[in-house]
Copies of this chain bind each other. A is one copy, B any other.
Amino acid sequence: MKKTLKEIAALIGGRVEGDGDVVITGASGIKEAREGDLTFLANPKYASLLKETRAAAVVIEEGLQVAPGKPLIRVKNPSIAFSKLIDLLGPKKLVFPEGVHTLAVVSPKAKLGKGVSVGPFAVIEDGAVIGDRAVIRSGVYVGHGAAIGAECHLYPHVIIREGCEIGSRVIIHGGTVIGSDGFGYVAVEGIHHKIPQVGKVVIEDDVEIGSNVTIDRARFDKTIIRKGTKIDNLVQIAHNCDIGENSIIVAQVGISGSTTIGKNVILAGQVGVVGHVTIGDNSIIGAKGGVSKSVPPNSYHIGIPAMDATQFKKIFAAYMRLPQLVTRVRELEAKLAALEGRPADDHAEATND
């Protein structure tokens, strides 16, 4: 890449502030930027990095006041603008050849749309349907009667079990398993008998799912991930869950069976949610939180078990000063004993210090 700042501003619909003839030869983050790089400032709280960055110029928000220095491109949303730039000028995107690789196994009873790419060692079973321009990478398994929407990208070794339905433009990263049996048994005299899991998984449009994720099929009916939701690596979603639109589920979260997650919810890393509860729309659960009961919309919960964040912070502050509280109680006991004219009780076992 070799373009002037002016040319780039035109490409991303921005306005140059400073020298528009600076030559840009690369693009990167504000910390890693090298000479000649264009970078961007997405979060005003990192504005101090503008002084340190080696970048030649910076994409920055319209109204944001910064000390004079580097030439700028002013845009409405620097992060979006920069992503657009990377798409235009960044590393060339890999193109996967249209057609079915000779070493793929595609059932004659499967239906492939236009422009589909099927890599080597992929398996597409009877009755599966693959939408137009979908990319089925090497080693992917698409089960009997499963449906994959248009322009999906299934990375190597993804497994879509029988009967599952994937919407359009869904991205699923390597090693993820969609539609394995829900974890259900009934115990009779200590022996666990498997409960048939005859439902499916439905994943709506524009969902992205990370690597080595597991999403189980429903006992009956469906486990559903609604449109626009993004799921990070190593997440577990159990049978019969209903995950709302545009939610963010960070790595290693686990959601137990039949739980409902609302729209625009954020579950931070390693959160666990018990079964049969509801997390209301727009709620946030802090990292490692353990949700043991339903949570209202627009709330912020943390802790194990998870509680309202304001309450948690108050309690936790007192917890951090517990040894001092013990000392104060001991002092009170001594003073009271003195007032009463008797020796203080021995609570030494309680002090541990």
Contact with B along A184-209 (1 / 0, CB 8 A): 01101011111110100000000010
Known contacts A32-B221, A326-B325, A339-B340; decide if A234 and B236 are in contact (CB<8 Å): yes
Query: How many subunits of this chain does the assembly comprise?
Result: 3
Query: A303: nearest residue on chain B (CB-CB)?
Result: B304
- Inter-subunit contact B221/A194 (CB<8 Å): no
One digit per residue, 1 when the CB lies within 8 angstroms of any chain B CB and 0 when it does not, for chain A 147-174 equals: 0000000011101011100000001011
A29-B221, A254-B252, A319-B319 known; A233+B335 contact, CB < 8 A: no
* Complex Cα spacing A240 to B30, Å: 13
Give A1-38 interface residues, CB cut-off 8 Å to B: 27-29, 32
- Residues in B with CB closer than 8 Å to A181 are 171, 173, 210
* Pairwise interchain contact A323-B315, C-beta atoms closer than 8 A: yes
Contacts of A314 in B (CB 8 A): 323, 352-353
> CB within 8 A of A246: which of B28, B190, B233?
B190
Give Cα A211–Cα B212 distance, bound, in whole angstroms. Answer: 9
- Residue ID in chain B nearest A256 by CB atoms: B269
Q: A196-B87, A328-B350 are in contact. Are A177 and B121 (CB under 8 A)?
A: no
Q: How far is the CA of A60 from the CA of B119 in the complex (A)?
A: 50
User: What is the CB-to-nearest-CB distance from A297 to chain B, in angstroms, rounded to a whole number?
Assistant: 14
Q: Which positions 62-101 of chain A face chain B at CB distance < 8 Å?
A: 77, 79-80, 83, 86-87, 90-91, 94, 101
Write the A247-289 contact mask toward B (1 if CB under 8 angstroms, else 0). Answer: 0101110101000000010000110101000000000000110
Q: Is the CB of A233 within 8 A of B183?
A: yes
Interface size bucket, A side?
A: 35 or more
Chain B's closest residue to A185 (CB) is B230
Say whether A301 faces chain B, with CB atoms less than 8 Å apart.
Answer: no
Which residues in chain A, 206-243, are within 8 Å of chain B measured between CB atoms? 208, 210-214, 216, 219-221, 228, 230, 232-234, 236, 238, 240
Contact B214 A238 (CB under 8 A): no
